[in-house]
Amino acid sequence: MFQISNFTDNDDIRVLSSLGPFTVIEYLRDLSVMPGNAETAYFCNAMNVRKRQVICDISKANVTVQAGAMQWMVGNVHATTGLKGVGDLFGKAVRGKVTGESAIKPEYTGDGIYVVCYCCSSSYIFCIS
C-alpha cells in the first residue's frame, strides 16, 4: 500500500476536473523553477499560463497512454506493450507511419497512481475498462 502526502492537498495545487480514474490538477505556483528556465516561468506566470498534470488512478481502470508521456508513478503498477504478436506490431507500425503515432503504446494495470504531463500536446490518454 502507498500513501501520497502533500500532493493534491496543498495550497499550490488546484483540482480542475475529475472523471472516472482521471483527475486534472493545476499548479498555482510552480516551485520547480531552475535558473535555465526562470525567464520562461516568469512570463508564463505573468500570462497566467500554469503547469497541469493528469493523475490516473490505475485501480479504477486500466490506462493506455502515448509512449513517453509518463512523469512518475507510485504503487503496484504494471506496464505492458499492448502488442499481441508480430502481425499486430507490423499493423500498428504501418498505421503509425501514416498517422505519425507510436506503434507501441504502454498499457498500465494494477492499483497505483500514474501521473502524466497535461501540457504535452502529444500526450494522449485512453481508458480501457
How many domains is the chain built from?
1
Residue 7: inside a domain: no
* 66-122 tens-digit pLDDT: 777 778 889 998 888 766 766 666 666 666 667 766 667 788 889 999 898 765 444
**Cα–Cα dist 42/106, whole Å:** 35
Residue 4: inside a domain: no
Residue 8: inside a domain: no
- pTM for the full model? 0.74
* 6-62 tens-digit pLDDT: 888 889 999 999 999 999 999 888 888 899 988 988 898 889 888 888 999 999 988
Q: What are 115's three cell numbers?
A: 501521473
User: Edge to edge, what strands does the sheet with 52-57 contain?
Assistant: 13-19, 22-27, 52-57, 113-117, 70-74
Question: Domain of 80?
Answer: 13-128
